Structure 1
Amino acid sequence: MRADIKTVLFDLDGTLIDHFMCIYRCYRYAQEKMGLAPVSYEKVRSTVGGSVRITMGHLMGVENAERGEALFREHFNEIMLEDLHALPGAKWLLQQLQARGVRTAVFTNKHGIGARKIMAHLGFDKYLDEVIGTYDTPWRKPDPEFTQYALETMKADAESTIMVGDSPFDILAGQVGGIRSYVVATGSHSVEELEAIDPPADGVYRDLHHFAEEFLGLPRTPEAVEK
């Protein structure tokens, strides 16, 4: 395990969890309620990022974004624990980091209250020091104030902190705070797409196991395959 890393900020969707089907159902619910033509799961998955309202604007038009967001959140509060899966390596990696004294947090553009419920439901909360989401502050990734808030909450310095995510928003969220950013291709972007992002991430990996082995130097143990 690298000795220079004291704190790890993890994105949530596409990094620690697969929640895309639930998210898709909420966008579909909003579209149906508003009488709009539904878009495909693939389209939603490739468009998600930044915030619900931004994604709504891309999918349904800016003029429908505010109403669409309200409907999305209405349905999400009802089904947030459905179609929810931990990504391979997520629990194992959090356990490994905790055992080595590394502080960890979820740092997400998901609503903070929902993110904390999801982490508790999966049993991940016992391995995390903090879960930081939107509406905990006025900001969201990649606002520099949000990254600074995360560092202050974790009592961490940028030099010994890294960001692990799956999207350009995660890369930027790290960079605006002077934090090294690493991304995994388990969200909306392939390895090739992540490698083409400019400004680039400090590293691109297939998944959390690949990141843990190649960057952190944590060998994959037999129990890691199950987690």
Structure 2
Amino acid sequence: MSAALSRPSAVLFDWDNTLVDSWAVIHAALNETFTAMDHPNWTRAETEARVRGSLRDTFPGMFGARWQDAEKTFYDAFGRLHLENLTPLPGAAELLRQLAEAGAYLGVVSNKRGHFLRLEAEHLGWDRYFNQLAGAGDAARDKPCREHVDLALGLGSGKAGPAAGPDVWFVGDADIDIVCARNAGCRAILVRAQPPTEEEMAVAAPDLHFPDLSALAEHLRRL
């Protein structure tokens, strides 16, 4: 991992479990879906280990010809649960405020459906911080594909930020976020309590790792 980087001109964030704690809602909605589809339920640990891609990329392989029925069941359950259980992660609001006041371009690249992503950002009052919120289905292809990053940077939207490159930091909690950053040529920043595993490092090592958002905020203040 790189020891130091220059201050970013733009910061893109994953959403779920990077800025907000979503595991409980995702887990509950998935198990409602599994029950309806006669699939065995997952444990919470299995959910956290397996959920990475968007539904349009993962459900066809999981449910075959019935994947659209499963998708409807999942989103019906998620829509009932997500706002009342939405929990910002410690330090998230402060970090977004710090970056916005410093004039950084801010965006989100999330494999949560764009409609739900924007509802959640508005519910938290964070929509004012972001130049662009790009959720699943908003771009031609979802994370980890380059198109999703380009959309979050405003390409073709009239809200253009800097082009994807080393001056753009991509902040996330999972291996898919690091891969996405690499696919777009951005700096990959891992934020979670656990350091990257050997398996993750072999696929795509992050440039920097922080145990939490407050540590990332302090690092940025020092740059």
1:196 equivalent in alignment to 2:196: no
**CA–CA distance in 1 between the matches of 2:90 and 2:137?**
28
1:180 aligns with 2:187: yes
Q: What code does the residue aligned with 1:170 have? A: D
Of 126, 129, 153, the match for 2:128:
126
Q: Aligned equivalents of 1:209 and 1:137: distance in 2?
A: 30
1:166 aligns with 2:168: no
1:74-223 alignment to 2 at 5 Å?
74-151=76-153, 152=155, 153=157, 154-157=160-163, 158-185=165-192, 190-193=194-197, 196-214=201-219, 216-217=220-221
Unaligned runs of 5+ residues in structure 2 are none
Q: TM-score if structure 1 supplies the norm length? A: 0.84
Which consecutive residues of structure 1, in runs of 5 or more, have no partner in the other structure?
Answer: 220-227
Distance 1:80 1:144 in 2: 28
Which residue of 3, 15, 38 corresponds with 2:18? 15
SS for the counterpart of 1:36 is coil
Give the Cα separation in 1 of the matches to 2:64 and 2:91. Answer: 37
Residue 225 of structure 1 is matched in structure 2 by none
CA shift at 1:65, angstroms?
4.0
**C-alpha separation between the residues in 2 aligned to 1:43 and 1:161?**
32
8 Å contact 2:110–2:134 — kept in the other structure?
yes
Q: Percent of counterpart pairs with the same letter?
A: 30
Structure 1 residue 180 displacement after superposition: 0.6
Scaled by the length of structure 2, the TM-score of the pair is 0.85
Using the TM superposition, give the Cα deviation of residue 196 of structure 1 relative to its aligned residue in structure 2, in angstroms: 3.2
62-71 vs 174-183, which moves further: 62-71
Q: 3-state DSSP class of the match of 1:69?
A: helix
